[in-house]
Amino acid sequence: MYNILKAEMYKLKYSKELMICLIGLLILAIINTYYGSGEGGARAALIHPSRETFGIIACSLFAVTYVGKDLVSKTINHTLTSGHTRNKVFLSKYLCYLIGCVIILLANYVFTGSTYGLLYGWGQVFNSSELYFLIVYMVVGIFFNICISSISFFICILVKNSSVSIALCGGIIGLILSLTQLPWDTITYYVANKDYSLGIIPLIFAISFVLGTGILYLICNYYFNKQDI
């Protein structure tokens, strides 16, 4: 397992797909800052739904271009025929994808916050309370976004056609974002602000996201073991 994960991490380190996603997010952050009003400073920019949407879309593109190419080009066969079980191969790819998503999502926060911050400041006095808000908002936000972005990974594993994967990832993720209106982002904001008026709703959301992702993982892992690669 360690050797597989080490090989996947090496590929991730020199991944052009990851670099392209990061460059794309940086360009979007610069464009948004240039054309944005700047009202509320970096704080308002970080909690804006567009920043959340860009991060999830970037993770989906990363899944299609990075994870999907192994199945399309059949390079995954080298790993499978080298004596590793499919369960370990699947887990290593998923863990590597999650690490890539964390890098993308963190970069999204940094690019947005730094570009707005340099021009417009934080938006209010940056004290220990605001530092707490920033850290919690990023950590909880990344957790929810990773769960949503995992859907794109599972689609790419199950669907070996890259064009179909792109269409499905774009359609399903777009549908989720448009229909739900990002309720987890609102929950993240409440938690980061130490507003406990929602009661146990944040905990219920967190548990449901973990369970949903876990169930999808098991289903996808089962079909990955059964499918002809």
Q: What does the pLDDT profile of the chain (229 residues) look like in tens digits? A: 767 778 788 888 888 999 999 999 999 999 988 887 778 889 999 998 888 899 999 999 999 888 777 766 666 656 665 667 888 888 999 999 999 999 999 999 999 999 999 988 998 889 999 999 999 999 999 999 999 999 999 998 888 777 788 888 888 888 888 877 778 888 999 999 999 898 999 999 999 999 999 999 999 999 888 876 6
Distance separating alpha carbons of residues 196 and 177, to the nearest angstrom: 25
Looking at the 3D structure of the chain, how many domains does it have? 1
Q: Is the pTM of this model over 0.85?
A: yes
Q: How deeply is 59 buried, as exposed, middle or buried, from its count of CB atoms within 10 A (0-12, 13-18, 19+)?
A: buried
Question: Mind giving me the DSSP string for 77-139?
Answer: HHHHTTT--HHHHHHHHHHHHHHHHHHHHHHHHHHHHHHHHHHH-SSS---HHHHHHHHHHHH
What is the pLDDT at residue 81?
58
Print the domain residue range for 185.
Answer: 2-226
